[in-house]
Amino acid sequence: MTLGIDRADFEKAAVDETESMLQSGALNKKGGGRYVVAIDRVINDTTQRIDTDMLIKKIRVAILRSGKAVVTAAIQVGGPESTLSHSVRELRENQEVKRTTVAKKNAIIAPDMGLSGKIMQRNARTGSGKQLVEYYFQLTLTHLESGLALWEDEVVVGKIGSSRTVSW
């Protein structure tokens, strides 16, 4: 048995947090339409090497499927997820490319919201000498113009095992 994070833990965190976000009304745009959400950093503060994109991808898919928001792939911390959205703009100077098919200036949509988070780990011993490892999946949805957090949630995944079991 492992005390580390597995696929089922990511599934639980993604489903629980997405349902919380969608039910909160934070993505219900006044007057209709859809918000544009950019993905900010998700910090891994655990002893494990975690691909935080696994969690974010599941949440992105659920947001898109809900129809309440779109997610920009052109603007993201650390550079765009889709480098093509910027690369095609470099074609403006290429004489071999038909001008009317090149992406126009002022076409990339700036995000309204940013989704950021953190995954933390806390280890403790139980009274019976077993090891308790808790993982905290925290997410925040921020309105970028005002800087106000419109939604936050935390999902805790706990695991108990032998004191000899490692959590990484």
The string of pLDDT tens digits covering residues 137-150 is 999 999 999 999 99
pLDDT of residue 155: 96
pLDDT grade, residue 119 (50/70/90)?
very high
Q: Looking at residues 12-40, what average pLDDT do you find?
A: 95
- Angle, nearest 10°, between helix axes 7-24 and 52-66? 40
pLDDT grade, residue 45 (50/70/90)?
very high
The percent of residues above 70 in pLDDT, for the chain, comes to: 89
Torsion-angle region of 73 (φ positive above 0: left; ψ -120 to 50: alpha; else: beta) = alpha
Res 164 pLDDT > 80: no
Please name which of 112, 118, 142, 124 lies closest in space to residue 13, comparing C-alpha atoms.
118
**Domains defined for the chain, CATH in brackets:** 7-25+34-91+105-161 (3.40.50)
pLDDT of residue 80: 54
For 98, other C-beta atoms within 10 Å of its C-beta total 8
Please name which of 25, 27, 4 lies closest in space to residue 119, comparing C-alpha atoms.
4
49-59: pLDDT as tens digits: 888 888 889 99
pLDDT of residue 166: 59
Contact 148, 74 (CB under 8 A): no
If one compares 104 and 46, the residue with the highest pLDDT of the two is: 46
CA distances from 22 to 66, 89, 149 (A): 8, 34, 15
Query: How high does pLDDT run on average in the chain?
Result: 87
